[in-house]
């Protein structure tokens, strides 16, 4: 929301007075912009990777079928199929969403704690702002799914990606209980991460309290132990269908640690050895990603993304963005809509164009992704941009 709705104008507006003051030599975290282009660009890249992963999976027969029947494809098709193999790891972008989410939520609180160690947030206003930001798009996407999926079912009723469209499932997803009290709504399985992120929003006051009282190091160690225990449980066959924030809490707290490090409140060192250790852990995570131990790999991969975000912000790429960053930052603005709506749109497009069966033509993946981006842009301009405009009574909270 994972694409998820945290690095938004609403949060930026609330922290405008903090984040628009000049950058001091000792405080490299504060940038003179309402939005950080590098953060938007990261969200845009992450949303595009997840969309590409699902478009490749749904519209193309797959690498194994491509290589086993090479005579049925041109050399170009085979080459593109081989080159697209890294997209199988597109799901590793979800930990990036979680790190960005933790960073963007904690950024303003970390800055306020730096100015006033006794700062006490207004939690009622915090939860109202989160609900105002999340629910307009979530409700719209659930309604879009309920409109597209029945057509997909008619065209391809045996599609295993389709699920329940009942009112109960709708309410379960609306209450962020997907994976606990019910399945995904229809074909929109990717909303599992938004449900977890909403649970993490609810758990954030505890993270804030722990960070304020014990520091970010103790908070990281505590959430690491908690997450690793429940990630190990989630690897057991009986618990793989259970989805809740437990195994992912450390990944989100890493984003909070990024805000602490850049806000000069943390004494965590990022010298050569910590960076090398982080890269080794990340390599283990990528290696385990496609195995049954993916819940454990999630936290390992998050270490890599947290390191990337810290380094990018420390060199102040956010202040002098190059044209690729500008381009992906524009995509990042609609990344929440893109992440939330792409799966039902892809399934609808496949049922409409391919009668539910994947094609041997991998070139169809690109127009499928473009279609998702166009739908997401329409959803952004018709719904999401209005959820970025906080009412006056919330803006001053």
pLDDT exceeds cutoff 80 at 265: no
- The rounded radius of gyration (Å) of the Cα atoms in the chain is 21
Count of CB atoms situated within 10 Å of the CB of 59: 24
pLDDT > 70: percent of the chain: 87
Read off the pLDDT of residues 61-113 as tens digits, 9 standing for 90 and up. 999 888 888 777 788 998 999 999 999 999 999 999 999 999 999 999 999 99
Mean pLDDT of the residues in the chain? 87
pLDDT bucket at 396, cuts 50 / 70 / 90:
low
Report, as an integer, the average pLDDT of 1-28. 42
pLDDT exceeds cutoff 60 at 2: no
Read off the pLDDT of residues 360-374 as tens digits, 9 standing for 90 and up. 999 999 999 999 999
Q: Judge residue 121's burial from the number of C-beta atoms within 10 Å of its C-beta, 0-12 exposed, 13-18 middle, 19 or more buried.
A: middle
pLDDT exceeds cutoff 70 at 184: yes
Bridge partners (DSSP) listed for residue 182? 178
pLDDT score for 316: 60
Distance in angstroms (rounded) separating the CA atoms of residues 128 and 43: 23
Q: What is the pTM of this model?
A: 0.89
pLDDT bucket at 22, cuts 50 / 70 / 90:
very low
Largest Cα separation within the chain, whole Å, is: 69
Q: Strands (DSSP E) along the chain, which ranges?
A: none
């Amino acid at each position: 929301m994972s694409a998820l709705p945290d690095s938004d104008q609403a949060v930026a507006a609330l922290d405008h007075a903090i984040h628009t003051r000049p950058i001091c030599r000792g405080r490299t975290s504060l940038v003179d912009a309402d939005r950080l282009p590098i953060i938007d660009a990261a969200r845009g890249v992450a949303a595009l990777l997840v969309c590409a992963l699902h478009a490749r999976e749904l519209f193309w027969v797959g690498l194994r079928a491509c290589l086993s029947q090479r005579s049925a494809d041109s050399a170009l098709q085979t080459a593109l199929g081989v080159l697209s193999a890294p997209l199988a790891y597109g799901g590793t972008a979800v930990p990036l969403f979680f790190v960005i989410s933790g960073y963007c939520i904690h950024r303003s609180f970390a800055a306020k704690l730096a100015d006033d160690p006794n700062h006490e947030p207004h939690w009622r206003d915090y939860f109202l702002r989160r609900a105002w930001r999340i629910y307009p798009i979530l409700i719209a996407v659930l309604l879009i799914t309920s409109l597209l999926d029945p057509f997909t079912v008619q065209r391809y009723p045996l599609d295993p990606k389709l699920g329940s469209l009942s009112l109960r499932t709708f309410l379960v997803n609306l209450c962020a209980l997907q994976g606990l009290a019910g399945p995904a709504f229809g074909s929109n399985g990717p909303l599992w991460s938004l449900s977890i992120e909403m649970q993490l929003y609810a758990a954030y006051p505890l993270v804030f309290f722990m960070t304020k009282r014990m520091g970010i190091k103790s908070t990281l160690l505590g959430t690491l132990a908690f997450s690793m225990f429940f990630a190990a449980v989630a690897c057991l066959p009986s618990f793989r269908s259970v989805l809740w924030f437990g195994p992912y809490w450390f990944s989100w707290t890493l984003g909070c640690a990024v805000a602490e490090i850049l806000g000069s409140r943390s004494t965590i060192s990022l010298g050569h050895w910590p960076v090398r250790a982080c890269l080794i852990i990340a390599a283990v995570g990528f290696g385990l990603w496609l195995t049954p131990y993916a819940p454990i790999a999630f936290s390992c991969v998050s270490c890599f993304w947290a390191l990337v975000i810290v380094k990018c912000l420390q060199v102040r790429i956010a202040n002098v963005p190059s044209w690729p960053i500008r381009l992906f930052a524009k995509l990042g603005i609609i990344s929440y809509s893109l992440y939330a709506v792409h799966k039902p749109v892809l399934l609808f497009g496949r049922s409409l164009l391919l009668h539910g069966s994947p094609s041997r033509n991998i070139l169809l993946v690109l127009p499928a992704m473009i279609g998702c981006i166009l739908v997401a842009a329409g959803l952004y301009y018709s719904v999401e941009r209005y959820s970025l405009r906080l009412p006056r009574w919330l803006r001053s909270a």
